[in-house]
Amino acid sequence: MRIISGKYKGRRITAPKKLPVRPTTDLAKESLFNIINNEFYIDKVILLDLFSGTGNISYEFASRGCTQITAVDADYGCTEFIGKTAEEFEFDINIIKSDVFKFLERTKLKSKIIFADPPYNFSDEKFAQIRQLVFEKDLLVKSGYLIIEHSEYTNLEHLEHFSFFKKYGSCVFSFFEHTQDESSKEEE
Give me the CATH number covering residue 114. Answer: 3.40.50.150
Residue 180 domain flag: no
- Is 182 inside a domain boundary? no
Read off the pLDDT of residues 30-82 as tens digits, 9 standing for 90 and up: 999 999 999 999 999 999 999 999 999 999 999 999 999 999 999 999 999 99
Residue 17, domain member (yes or no)? no
Reported as a single tens digit per residue, the pLDDT across 6-30 is 999 999 998 888 888 877 888 899 9
Residue 181: the pLDDT is 59
User: What was the pLDDT predicted at 58?
Assistant: 97
Per-residue confidence at 182, pLDDT binned at 50, 70, 90? Answer: low
In a domain, residue 156? The reply is: yes
Model-level pTM?
Answer: 0.93
Q: Is residue 107 part of a domain?
A: yes
Tell me whether residue 87 is in a domain.
yes
**In sequence order, what DSSP letters do the residues of 6-58 get, joined into one string?**
STTTT-B----TTS---PPPHHHHHHHHHHHHHH--GGG-EEEEET-TT-HHH
pLDDT tops 60 at residue 187: no
Number of domains present in the structure of the chain: 1
Does 188 have pLDDT greater than 50?
A: no
What pLDDT shows up at residue 185? 45
Q: Domain range for residue 118?
A: 44-172
Q: What percent of the chain has pLDDT over 70?
A: 95
What is the per-residue pLDDT for 19? 83
Sign of CA dihedral 180, 29, 148, 47: negative
In a domain? residue 162: yes
User: Looking at residue 183, what is its pLDDT?
Assistant: 47
* Domain membership flag for residue 10: no
Task: Tell me the pLDDT band of 179, cut-offs 50, 70 and 90.
Answer: confident
